[in-house]
Amino acid sequence: MLIGGYIRSHQIDKAWETFDAMRLSYHQADEVSYTLMIHACAKQGEVERAMNLFEDMIGNQLFPTDVTFNVLINACAKRPDYYEEAFDLLHQMQTVYGFRPDRVTYNTLLHACAWKKDLYRARKIVNAMLEKSKLQEEDDPIDLTPNEQTFTNLFMCYANYNPGPQKTETKQVEPAATDALVEHRLLTGPLPERRSAVVTEAKQVLALVQDRMPLTTKLLTAYLAVHVLQKQSAEITHIYTDLFDAHQATRIPRTFNFMLRSCYDTKNTQLAWEIWEQYQDYLGQFASHQSHATLLDRKKHEAHIKQRQIEEGWTMEQQRQMLVVMVNTVARGDDIPNALKLLSTQIEENPNLRPKLKHLNIFYNKCIQLEDEEAKKQLVALCYPDRKLKPVDWRYRKQ
């Protein structure tokens, strides 16, 4: 289809022109055309436009497909302000149109739960997947068995979750399960109310995962994140060294990021320098050696690198965040000279890493605390200045 070809070649404007022409002509756009355009909107983060297309589709008495719902749910799940709409669409998909969500649908919703710190819904989703996959026939085309992505997303739910006294609606007692399902319902009972309890439940999940699949880099990094973000430092080093080695899992920039955050929390500058060196060694292997390659080969290499950056957590913005964490960690340990040296060296090698001053407030305040005016001046000179209000700002306009 012409629209699909335009979308695959990233000519979204052309796709819209074709679609609008179809809507204005005698040959109205069909379900496939609407779904393709909804997908195009989702890829560009235009959730409102995607939802409007969905409403037009229903208004024109066209029936959405399971693909339509999956695309919409994915789009809404990526936007915190459309979080509830994602679950509303799931309800419509099942009860109004009779479609069965698949593993991709559930994993997408789990990812949204992690961003919204909604452990209550995440547990229900995983329990549903465990139960339904147990009852599935062998020849069922829709496989709901939880996979690596399922448990990675669940671990990130634990990592981001804020424990505390539960709200009334989350204290509901889970309905009794049949004997055949009890052993497959892992996440039952009230939500954890202490950080230590969050980590304890995550350990139970890890035991289940270990019986089902290999512990991969993604799984172990997400499990490490639970301990780091819940500030339970007792087993962090063991996970990073022993568990990763035992399962031959590669440490990626996202792994290094969580370890540096732990070093910042515990003021462990010695370990931070070790992590930083490992991180730099990892990035070093991707240094470009493409000077004699053809243009096509260079384009392929760049696309490959960009994809790995997104997957592993070392886009330019993420590299800048890593530098900020490391510099603040060193400064927090009262090592102002080395913090300045690290910052200036990294910016000199790659000016795109230059941070804003507000992101190095820890470093700045440490300079004030130690009464090091010269270091403070150098720090200010190395960073982008914070934006100051100007007279033209709307807050200065006369009423």
pLDDT tens digits, 227-256: 999 999 999 999 999 999 999 999 999 999
In a domain, 178, yes or no: no
In a domain, 184, yes or no: no
The token duo for 178 is 């049949």
Same domain, 220 and 348: no
Last residue of a domain, one of 50, 66, 99: 99
User: Per-residue b/e over 179-209, b at no fewer than 16 CB within 10 Å?
Assistant: eeeeebbbbeeebbeebeebbebbeebbebb
Mean model confidence pLDDT for the chain: 88
CA 20 – CA 22 distance, rounded (Å): 5
The token duo for 132 is 């339904």
* Distances 127 to 108, 184, 218 between C-alpha atoms, Å: 15, 8, 21
Same domain, 127 and 200: yes
Last residue of a domain, one of 99, 124, 146: 99
Mean pLDDT of the 54-60 span = 91
In a domain, 393, yes or no: no
What are the residues whose beta carbons fall under 8 Å from the beta carbon of 343, sequence distance 6 or more?
323, 327, 360, 379, 382
Same domain, 277 and 322: yes
Mean pLDDT of the 334-341 span = 97
- φ, ψ of residue 298 in degrees (nearest 5): -65, -40
In a domain, 319, yes or no: yes
Same domain, 134 and 209: yes
Same domain, 135 and 25: no
In a domain, 38, yes or no: yes
Domain span at residue 199? 110-164+191-250
Q: Give the global pTM.
A: 0.86
In a domain, 373, yes or no: yes
Same domain, 117 and 24: no
Please give the pLDDT value at position 2: 73
| DSSP code for 239 | I
State yes or no: pLDDT of 116 exceeds 80: yes
* Distances 335 to 79, 99, 317, 346, 356 between C-alpha atoms, Å: 40, 60, 25, 17, 20
Our count of domains for the chain comes to 3
The token duo for 283 is 């990035």
Residue with tokens 């290499």: 301
In a domain, 239, yes or no: yes
Same domain, 7 and 71: yes
Please give the pLDDT value at position 210: 94
Same domain, 87 and 133: no
In a domain, 334, yes or no: yes
Please give the pLDDT value at position 287: 73
Same domain, 92 and 151: no
Same domain, 380 and 344: yes
Amino acid at 164: G
CA 377 – CA 226 distance, rounded (Å): 38
86-95, 98-107, 290-299, 362-371: the lowest-pLDDT one: 290-299
DSSP string, 115-142: HHT-HHHHHHHHHHHHHHHHH--TT-SS
Amino acid at 208: L
State yes or no: pLDDT of 95 exceeds 80: yes
Same domain, 229 and 352: no
Same domain, 75 and 154: no
Residue with tokens 């699909």: 4
Is the model more confident about 140 or about 249?
A: 249
